[in-house]
Amino acid sequence: MLTRRIGSLEVSVIGVGCNNFGRRLDPEATTKVVDAAIGEGINFFDTADIYGGTKSEEYLGKALGKRRSDVIVATKFGMKVDENRRGARPEYVLQAAEDSLKRLGTDYIDLYQLHEPDPTVPISETLGALDELVKAGKVREIGCSNFTLDQLREADSAAKPKAAHFVSVQNEYSLFHREPELEILPECGSTGMAFLPYFPLANGMLTGKYRKGQPAPDGSRIGSGWHGELLTEKNLDVVEKLIEFAKGCDRTILDLAFSWLLTRPMVASVIAGATSADQVRANANAGTWHLSDLDLETINKIAPVKTS
């Protein structure tokens, strides 16, 4: 498994999104996914305090056990856990970190990310608390998520010299959502910040499970109403064309989705959720297609970036 860097961290180019842990997966099933990931050379696990109603961190920590130091654990804070646990006030940042450390069963977090901007708190104050965690050895690197270009630049300007600053940004990015190419990816390219795409498979649209003229599979995310607006004739036409292109190269649309993202050097790791060991193994082997310039040109015609 190839690796790329997030600040001082070296992460596998394929990671595991842990949003299913504690939600769709119990502790035993979580452990099977974690075991399979480590067996495939994956060392990057991305979770959050809100995932699985706070159970994701707990299940991940137990599944890792004595292997904690062999992997990179990223988690997030800031979205609403309950009425008292939310936002980016300095005192809450410190408490949220302690809560995550306890649930994870560890004494440090590799990458601690602000899950969303908090407009009620100056970013300088949040960064100050995060720097305190880094200096205390409780956090190794810090990142952000769902930030705009202006918010990234504001955070960079607010970070004090020799203090912790955001080394990564995690925003939605896939063949169906190419907006980051307009501003965020160029900024990452010029500053050296790592980019982490979430929803890299567009909520399953890029797995091949949703096909034109066929009903959505029972129990599937979109089939059960989650982001059902994606199932349009236009989107399904794009899916069919991408499947046909991949098939012509003796590949799958899953291979295409992962490998296309990894053509961007600023993308450090493609983190996708998984509910089984087989799914993890498929994801782990999906990023090995070296797309040519001609391939990328064809893909751009099928799923072009939208400028407005």
Pairing of strands 3-6, 9-12: antiparallel
Q: What are the residue numbers of the active site?
A: 51
- pLDDT reported for residue 244: 97
Tell me the torsion sign for CA atoms 270, 271, 274, 280.
Answer: positive
**Residue pointed to by tokens 């020799």:** 162
For residue 223, the model assigns a pLDDT of 56
pLDDT band at 143 (very low <50, low <70, confident <90, very high): very high
Domain count, the chain: 1
How far apart are alpha carbons 146 and 123 in whole angstroms?
Answer: 14
pLDDT digits (tens, 9 = 90+) for 36-80: 999 999 999 999 999 999 999 999 999 999 999 999 999 999 999
Provide the whole-model pTM: 0.94
- Residue 229 lies inside a defined structural domain of this protein: no
pLDDT 10s digits, 182-225:
999 999 999 999 999 999 999 899 998 877 777 766 666 665 55
Q: Quote the percentage of the chain above a pLDDT of 90.
A: 88
Which structural domain range is residue 178 located in?
Answer: 3-205+260-287
SS (H, E, C) 246-301: HHHCCCCHHHHHHHHHCCCCCECCEEEECCCHHHHHHHHCCCCCCCCHHHHHHHHH
Please check whether residue 222 lies inside any domain of the structure: no
**Is residue 225 one of the residues assigned to a domain?**
no
pLDDT, position 268: 98
Look up residue 204 and give its DSSP letter. G
CATH number, domain with residue 40 = 3.20.20.100
Q: Is residue 92 part of a domain?
A: yes
Q: For the segment 237-279, what is each residue's pLDDT rounded down to a tens digit? A: 999 999 999 999 999 999 999 999 999 999 999 999 999 999 9
